[in-house]
C-alpha cells in the first residue's frame, strides 16, 4: 500500500523515466578515421588541402562533427564540418589549411577532433577521436602572393617614373 | 479568564478540524493489497476458488466461451488448466477440445487460440481443429474477419501472436494498419468502423497493438490511454453506458498493465483518489465471485475470469507460443540462357501480388512463397497471373513464355502435381519432407533436369577428377547417366555414354562445374577447388591481390547511454559496465569529457573505474576490448529532481 501513499512525493529522488533500471540502450557507438595524424606545410597566404576519411562504426545512423582545436583554429576550413552517416558508411572530409599572408613562419600544433554526437536521453555516451595536426608555415609567401607583390612594385615604379616625367615637362613649360 | 482561554482553544480546534475535514473526506480508499495482486491475495484466491467450485462434471465452467476465458485466467494465475477437473472427470481443457467444433466465428477462433496458447497446446490441431488456419482463412489481405468490425481484428491479432505468428508478418502488420486507420479522433476505438469509442474496445486495441510489438509510448497507444483516462469517474472505474462495471474495469486495467503502467498509481486515480482497481473490487462478492454491476450479476463466471487477469496484472494474450521459424530451402532459378538465382531463403507466410494487383495471402511456407522471398533478396522481378487453375508463374526476371516453353517448378527435382502456391514446403508430398531445393525452370513440359556430381571436389593440381551427369526420369523417379552433355569447368567437356567426363586441371583454380544439354534443364553447380584454388578460369595468368585496410584509429563503445536508475542525494548508483573495443590499427589512449545540464551532477559525481572521469584514462591495444565501470554519486546538497541528462564522450588518441 505504501506505493499509493502521497508521502512518496516527499522523498527526494531522481526518477529516471526509462523502463529499464540500468542500461537503457545497448546500441554501440563507434567511429573510425584515417589518417591517424596529419601534417600541413605551406607559405603565408598559401593553402593546402588534405582529406580525412571518417567511418561510422556504429550499428545505427550517427551524426558527426569535425572541428579543430588550437590557438589559430580559424586557419582551417572543414567541409563538411557536420555529417550524418548510416551504419558502416564512410565519407571524406576536406581539411583546408590556409594561414594568413602576414603569418610569421613557424611550426604549430593543432588537434583535429571528430566526434559522434549522441542524441539519447539520460547520460548519453559518444565517441570521439583526436588526431594531431602538425603545420609548418614556411618563410616565403606563396607564388601567387609573390606575383601580387611584384606587380605592385612594378606598378609603383611605373607610377613614380610617370610622375617624374610629368614634373620635368611642367618645369620646361 | 480561564473560560476565555478554553473558548479560544476550542475555536482554534474547530478551525483546524474544519481545515482537515475536506482532506480526510478525499483520502483515497486503499486497495487491500499492492498491485498487481498475487494468488496469495484473498481477492484472487477467493475468485479462483469460486471458479473451481463452478466446474461441471464435463469439465466446463460456465458456457463454452466462458470456459475458454476461464482457462486464460487459470493460466494467468500460474496454474495448469489441464489439472482443473472434478474428480476424474474431464478437465476444462478436455471440455474445450471436445467442443472445439462448436467454434464458428472469427472471434470464436481467436478466443480459442488464446485459450489453447494458455494451455501450451497446439492451435493447429486442437480437438481436431486447426484454429490458426481458420483464423488465417478469414484474413482478406487487409484485415481479419468482417471489414466493418474492428473487435475481430483486435482479438485476431492477439490470437495470432499467441499462436506463434511472427508479429512482423503481413497478416499482423496489415491488420495493425487497418486498426490504426480506424482510430477515432478522441484516441479510442469502437467495436465497428465509424462507431463511437468505448473503453472495452479501446482497451483490447491497446493490448493488440502492444502484443504486436507497438511501443507503449507510441502515439496511438498513449492517445488511447488518454481516452480511457477521460472516461474515469469519481469511483475510479471507467464509465460504460452511464456507470461502471467489472468487465469494463477489468479490460481497462488489463490495457494499462499491458502498457507497463500501474493502474493504482496517482495518474490513474480519480479526482476523489479512487483508482479502477478500487472500483473493480467493489463488484466482488463474499464468495470471491464478481458481479457485472452492483445490481446485475450477469455471467458471474465470466466476470470473475476477467477480474482475475486484471487483478494479477496479466493482460491478454496471457501466453504466447514460440513464433514459427519458417522453412529454409535453396531456390535455384534456371533461365533460358543462364542461372538467374541460386541461394537459400527462409519462407514463412507470404503475400503474393498478381499482375492485376490482387493480393493472395498464404499462411504456410509455399514454393511460390520461396520464389517471392528469392525475388526480394535477389532483386529480380517475377509476374504471377491469377487464372482459373490458380496462380500461374508467367515470367521471372523478364523471361516470358514462348511457344511450348514457360516457367515450371520442381521440389527436390520432383515435378509436383499442384501449383507452386499450393505446395507447402516440408509438408506436401511427393517428394518426402524435409525439402531441400525448389527449382524453377524455363523449360518445356517433359524436359528432364540434369544433375552433376564430382568424385573429388578438391583435387590437387594435375589430378584427374570425374564429373558424372545424370538426368531425372519423372515416370520412374530414377536417375540415369546422360551422354553427350556439355560439362562446363575450366573449359567445356562432353560426357561419354556413361555420363562421365574426366577433367584434369594443371594450375591452382576454383571452378564451378555444371552441365547443359539441349532439351534438358541446366544442372546444379558444384564448386571444385583445384590445388590452392582462388584463381578463376581466364584469370589464371594474373596474380590476384586483396587486402582490407582498417582505419588508423577506430573504436566502438557500448552501450549508447546509461540510465543510473532512481537515486537520491548521497546515493551511489549500481556499477554500469561500458565496453570499449579497439577496431583500428593503432593502440589507443582513451580519455573522457563530460558535459551536463544538470547543475554539475555528472561533472561532479561521475566516476570511471573508481576515479573521477577527468582523471580516468586507459589504453586499449589493437584488436583488444576493455571494460570500464561507471558509477554516479549524487552530491549531498543536490537540489534538482527528475530526469537529468548529460553527455560522456570517450576520446581516443594514438597511444604510440
Cβ–Cβ < 8 Å for B43, B290: no
- Do the domains spanning B450-530 and B555-654 agree at the CATH topology level? yes
* Residues B617, B619: Cα–Cα separation, whole Å: 7
Is A24's CB within 8 Å of B559's CB? yes
Query: In terms of CA atoms, which chain A residue is nearest residue B274?
Result: A4
pLDDT per position as a tens digit, B257-316: 999 999 999 999 999 999 999 999 999 999 999 999 988 888 999 999 999 999 999 999
Domain spans, chain A: 24-140, 142-173
Our CA angle for B637, B629, A15, nearest 5°, is 45
* ipTM exceeding the 0.90 mark: no
* Residues B242, B286: Cα–Cα separation, whole Å: 26
Give the pLDDT score at B209.
Answer: 96
Kindly report the length of chain B: 656
Cβ–Cβ < 8 Å for A33, A55: yes
* Residues B71, B117: Cα–Cα separation, whole Å: 10
Residue B1 pairs with which residues in a beta bridge? none
DSSP letter (8 states) at residue A14? B
Cβ–Cβ < 8 Å for B494, B501: yes
Confidence of residue B143 (pLDDT cuts 50, 70, 90): very high
Give the pLDDT score at B250.
Answer: 97
Q: How far apart are the first and last CA of chain A?
A: 117
Cβ–Cβ < 8 Å for A133, A37: yes
Cβ–Cβ < 8 Å for B510, B527: yes
B27, B273, B551, B616: which to substitute to probe chain A, counting the most A Cβ within 10 Å? B551
Cross-chain CB nearest to B563 (options A16, A31, A35): A16
Q: Which helix (H) or strand (E) holds A94?
A: strand A90-97
For B543-642, strand residue ranges (E) read 553-558, 561-562, 576-582, 588-596, 606-608, 611-612, 618-620, 625-632
* Residues B365, B375: Cα–Cα separation, whole Å: 15
- What's the CATH superfamily of B555-654? Immunoglobulins (2.60.40.10)
Sort out which chain A residues have CB atoms less than 8 A from B613's CB and list them.
none
- Assigned architecture for domain B42-312: Alpha/alpha barrel (1.50)
- Assigned architecture for domain A24-140: Sandwich (2.60)
Q: Is the pLDDT of residue A3 over 60?
A: no
pLDDT per position as a tens digit, B357-412: 888 888 789 999 999 999 988 888 899 999 888 899 999 988 999 888 999 999 99
Which residue is associated with the grid cell 473503453? B199
Query: In terms of CA atoms, which chain B residue is nearest residue A4?
Result: B265
The rounded percent of chain A whose pLDDT value lies above 70 is 74
Cross-chain CB nearest to A125 (options B561, B564, B581): B561
Query: In terms of CA atoms, which chain B residue is nearest residue A26?
Result: B559
* Residues A4, B33: Cα–Cα separation, whole Å: 10
CATH no. for B450-530: 2.60.40.10
Q: Is the pLDDT of residue A112 over 90?
A: yes
* Residues B596, A98: Cα–Cα separation, whole Å: 35
Residue B488 pairs with which residues in a beta bridge? B492, B514
Distance from CA of B591 to the nearest CA of A (A): 10
Domain spans, chain B: 42-312, 328-443, 450-530, 555-654
Sort out which chain B residues have CB atoms less than 8 A from A21's CB and list them.
563, 565
Is A122's CB within 8 Å of B555's CB? no
User: Residues near B620 by Cβ (< 8 Å), separated by ≥ 6?
Assistant: B555, B580, B581, B582, B587, B588, B590, B626, B652
User: Residues near B14 by Cβ (< 8 Å), separated by ≥ 6?
Assistant: none
Residue B333 pairs with which residues in a beta bridge? B341, B440
Cβ–Cβ < 8 Å for B76, B318: yes
For all residues of chain B together, what is the average pLDDT? 88
Q: What global pTM score does this model have?
A: 0.46
CATH class, B328-443 region = mainly beta
Give the pLDDT score at B159.
Answer: 96
Confidence of residue A28 (pLDDT cuts 50, 70, 90): low
Amino acid at each position: 500500500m505504501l506505493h499509493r501513499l502521497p508521502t512518496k512525493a516527499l522523498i527526494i529522488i531522481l526518477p529516471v523515466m526509462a523502463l529499464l533500471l540500468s542500461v537503457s540502450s545497448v546500441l554501440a557507438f563507434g567511429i573510425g578515421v584515417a589518417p591517424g595524424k596529419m601534417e600541413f606545410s605551406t607559405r603565408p597566404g598559401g593553402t593546402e588541402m588534405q582529406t580525412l576519411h571518417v567511418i561510422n562504426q556504429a550499428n545505427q545512423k550517427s551524426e558527426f562533427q569535425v572541428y579543430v582545436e588550437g590557438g589559430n583554429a580559424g586557419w582551417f576550413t572543414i567541409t563538411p564540418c557536420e555529417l550524418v552517416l548510416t551504419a558502416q558508411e564512410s565519407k571524406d572530409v576536406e581539411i583546408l589549411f590556409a594561414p594568413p599572408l602576414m603569418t610569421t613562419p613557424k611550426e604549430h600544433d593543432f588537434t583535429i577532433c571528430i566526434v559522434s554526437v549522441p542524441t539519447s536521453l539520460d547520460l548519453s555516451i559518444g565517441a570521439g577521436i583526436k588526431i594531431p595536426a602538425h603545420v609548418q608555415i614556411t618563410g616565403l609567401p606563396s607564388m601567387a602572393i609573390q606575383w601580387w607583390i611584384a606587380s605592385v612594385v612594378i606598378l609603383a615604379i611605373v607610377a613614380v617614373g610617370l610622375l617624374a616625367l610629368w614634373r620635368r615637362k611642367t618645369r620646361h613649360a | 479568564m480561564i473560560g476565555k482561554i478554553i473558548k479560544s482553544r476550542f475555536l482554534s480546534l474547530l478551525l483546524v478540524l474544519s481545515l482537515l475535514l475536506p482532506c480526510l473526506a478525499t483520502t483515497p480508499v486503499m486497495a487491500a493489497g499492492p498491485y498487481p495482486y498475487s494468488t496469495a491475495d484473498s481477492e484472487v484466491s477467493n475468485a479462483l476458488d469460486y471458479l473451481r467450485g463452478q466446474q461441471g462434471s464435463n469439465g466446463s465452467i460456465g458456457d463454452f466461451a466462458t470456459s475458454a476465458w476461464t482457462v486464460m485466467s487459470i493460466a494467468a494465475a500460474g496454474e495448469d488448466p489441464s489439472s482443473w477437473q472434478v474428480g476424474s472427470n474431464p478437465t476444462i481443457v478436455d471440455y474445450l477440445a471436445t467442443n472445439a467444433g462448436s467454434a464458428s466465428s472469427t472471434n470464436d477462433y481467436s478466443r480459442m487460440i488464446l485459450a489453447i496458447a494458455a494451455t501450451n497446446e497446439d492451435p493447429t490441431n486442437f480437438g481436431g481443429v486447426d484454429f490458426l488456419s481458420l483464423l488465417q482463412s478469414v484474413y482478406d489481405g487487409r484485415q481479419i474477419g468482417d471489414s466493418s468490425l474492428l473487435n475481430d481484428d483486435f482479438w485476431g491479432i492477439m490470437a495470432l501472436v499467441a499462436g506463434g505468428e511472427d508479429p512482423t508478418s503481413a497478416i499482423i502488420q496489415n491488420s495493425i494498419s487497418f486498426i490504426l486507420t480506424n482510430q477515432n479522433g478522441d484516441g479510442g476505438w469502437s467495436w465497428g468502423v465509424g462507431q463511437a469509442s468505448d473503453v472495452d474496445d479501446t482497451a483490447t486495441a491497446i493490448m493488440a497493438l502492444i502484443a504486436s510489438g507497438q511501443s507503449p509510448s507510441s502515439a496511438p497507444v498513449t492517445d488511447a490511454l488518454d481516452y480511457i483516462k477521460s472516461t474515469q469517474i469519481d469511483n475510479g472505474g471507467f464509465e460504460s453506458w452511464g456507470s461502471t462495471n467489472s468487465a469494463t474495469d477489468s479490460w481497462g486495467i488489463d490495457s494499462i498493465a499491458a502498457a507497463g503502467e500501474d493502474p493504482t498509481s496517482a495518474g490513474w486515480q480519480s479526482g476523489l483518489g479512487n483508482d479502477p482497481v478500487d472500483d473493480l473490487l467493489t463488484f466482488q462478492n463474499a464468495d470471491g465471485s464478481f458481479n457485472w454491476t452492483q445490481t446485475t450479476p450477469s455471467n458471474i463466471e465470466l466476470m470473475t475470469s476477467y477480474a482475475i487477469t486484471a487483478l494479477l496484472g496479466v493482460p491478454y494474450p496471457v501466453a504466447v507460443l514460440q513464433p514459427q521459424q519458417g522453412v529454409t530451402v535453396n531456390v535455384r532459378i534456371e533461365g533460358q540462357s543462364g542461372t538467374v538465382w541460386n541461394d537459400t531463403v527462409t519462407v514463412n507466410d507470404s503475400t503474393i501480388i498478381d499482375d492485376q494487383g490482387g493480393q493472395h495471402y498464404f499462411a504456410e511456407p509455399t514454393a511460390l512463397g520461396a520464389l517471392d522471398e528469392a525475388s526480394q533478396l535477389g532483386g529480380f522481378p517475377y509476374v504471377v497471373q491469377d487464372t482459373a487453375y490458380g496462380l500461374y508463374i508467367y515470367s521471372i526476371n523478364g523471361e516470358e513464355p514462348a511457344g511450348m516453353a514457360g516457367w515450371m517448378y520442381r521440389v527436390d527435382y520432383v515435378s509436383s502435381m499442384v501449383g507452386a502456391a499450393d505446395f507447402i514446403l516440408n509438408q506436401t508430398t511427393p517428394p518426402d519432407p524435409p525439402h531441400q531445393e525448389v527449382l524453377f525452370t524455363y523449360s518445356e513440359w517433359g524436359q528432364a533436369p540434369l544433375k552433376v556430381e564430382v568424385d573429388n571436389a578438391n583435387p590437387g593440381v594435375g589430378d584427374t577428377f570425374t564429373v558424372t551427369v545424370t538426368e531425372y526420369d519423372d515416370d520412374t523417379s530414377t536417375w540415369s547417366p546422360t551422354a553427350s552433355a556439355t560439362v562446363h569447368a575450366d573449359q567445356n567437356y562432353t560426357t561419354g555414354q556413361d555420363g562421365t567426363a574426366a577433367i584434369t586441371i594443371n594450375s591452382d583454380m576454383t571452378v564451378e562445374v555444371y552441365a547443359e544439354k539441349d532439351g534438358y534443364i541446366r544442372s546444379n553447380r558444384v564448386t571444385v577447388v583445384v590445388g590452392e584454388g582462388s584463381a578463376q578460369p581466364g584469370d589464371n595468368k594474373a596474380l590476384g591481390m586483396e587486402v582490407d585496410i582498417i582505419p588508423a584509429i577506430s573504436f566502438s563503445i557500448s552501450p549508447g547511454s546509461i540510465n543510473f536508475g532512481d537515486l537520491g542525494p548521497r546515493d551511489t548508483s549500481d556499477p554500469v559496465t561500458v565496453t570499449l573495443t579497439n577496431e583500428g590499427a593503432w593502440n589507443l589512449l582513451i580519455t573522457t569529457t563530460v558535459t551536463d545540464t544538470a547543475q554539475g551532477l555528472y561533472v561532479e559525481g561521475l566516476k570511471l573505474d573508481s576515479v573521477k572521469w577527468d582523471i580516468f584514462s586507459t589504453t586499449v591495444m589493437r584488436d583488444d576490448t576493455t571494460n570500464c565501470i561507471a558509477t554516479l554519486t549524487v552530491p549531498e546538497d543536490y537540489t534538482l529532481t527528475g530526469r537529468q541528462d548529460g553527455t560522456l564522450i570517450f576520446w581516443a588518441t594514438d597511444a604510440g
